Amino acid sequence: MRLVRQQSVAEWSFLALLVVLCVVLSALQYHWTGEISRAEGERLRNGIRTGAESFAKSFDATLTAYCTALAPARGTVNEYNRAAIHEELFQKWNASHPQPIFRRVGVVTVSPERVNFLEQNLSDGKLSPAAWPDSWRSFQRHFEDDERGPFMAGSGVLFETPVFGGAPVGFGGPHELEWVVFELDTNYLQQVWIPKLARTHFDIPGNLNAQFTNLRRNWIVQNRR
């Protein structure tokens, strides 16, 4: 089986960001600049550009930190301590009162006989064997494919990060012992996290706040269909 090359969590997080950010920013820029003067429009475009950069950095930093905290470090996990390691990491992460940005977290291991899926309880951090969620079927096929490459989820809300062993195998580098799979909670993303980041990183004039709220509400409605 060809090994999946390592992907940084930061790269995958931008896929999720683009799902919501591009739509919202495009709508904001088009809507606002059509109603105000050219000079004000240029100022607003510059503000949106600057805000988008800081927005992306904040989004990426948070998502990267959360995923890193829940994924075992290289060489620390094996088939005997897997459950204990993941529970310990979850307890440490959960004690810091993180935002509930994940809808589901799972762990995938691959043996010559089968692909194993373990789901992590987001209340106590325990791992237990589980059936693949219906929305993860493409992900299951990805792991069952002997010629697979890195997983690319069109929606950007489902992504994985490999966990490597400490010792090299043959002439190659350390091999993947497992993959930690994250699914973002789109309800929390749309209703809480994205609006919070927007208020923090965009200089939205007071008289346009209602327009932003309406744009966001319309985007949520359209993407629930």
Tokens 């930690």 identify what position?
Answer: 180
More confidently predicted of 85 and 32: 85
DSSP 179: E
Structure tokens at 98: 């993180």
- Choose from 13-22, 48-57, 210-219 the range with maximum mean pLDDT: 48-57
Backbone angles phi, psi at 147, to 5 degrees: -110, 30
The three-class DSSP label of residue 213 is: helix
d(CA 123, CA 44): 43
What would you report as the CA-atom Rg of the chain, rounded to the nearest whole angstrom? 20
Which tokens go with 55?
């927005």
Amino acid at residue number 178: E
- Other C-beta atoms closer than 10 Å to the C-beta of 217 total 12
- Using one digit for the tens of pLDDT, what is the confidence trace for 59-106? 889 999 999 999 999 989 998 999 999 999 999 999 998 999 999 999
Highest-confidence segment of 20-24, 57-61, 172-176: 57-61
Q: Which of 217, 180, 162 is nearest to 102 (CA)?
A: 180
Asked if 183 and 28 count as a contact pair (C-beta separation under 8 A), the reply is no
**Separation of alpha carbons 133 and 155, rounded Å:** 16
What pLDDT, on the 0 to 100 scale, is given for residue 10? Answer: 42
Tokens 């929305």 belong to which residue? 135
Where would I find the beta strands (DSSP E) of the chain? 102-110, 115-120, 127-129, 158-168, 174-184
Q: Enter the pTM of the model.
A: 0.71
Query: Which carries the bigger pLDDT value, residue 184 or residue 153?
Result: 184
Inter-residue contact 49 to 99 (CB < 8 Å):
no
Q: Which residues does residue 115 pair with via DSSP β-bridges, in sequence order?
A: 110
Asked whether the predicted pLDDT for residue 225 surpasses 60, the reply is no
Residue that the structure tokens 């950010």 belong to = 21
Hey, is 9 helix, strand or coil? helix
CA 200 to each of CA 27, 52, 137, 173: distance values in angstroms, whole numbers, following the listed order: 18, 11, 36, 42
pLDDT at position 189: 87
Domain boundaries, the chain: 1-225
Closest by CA to 12, choosing from 222, 220, 179, is 179
* 14: exposed, middle or buried (Cβ count in 10 Å: 0-12, 13-18, 19+): middle
What mean pLDDT do residues 156-183 have? 79
| pLDDT value at residue 123 | 94
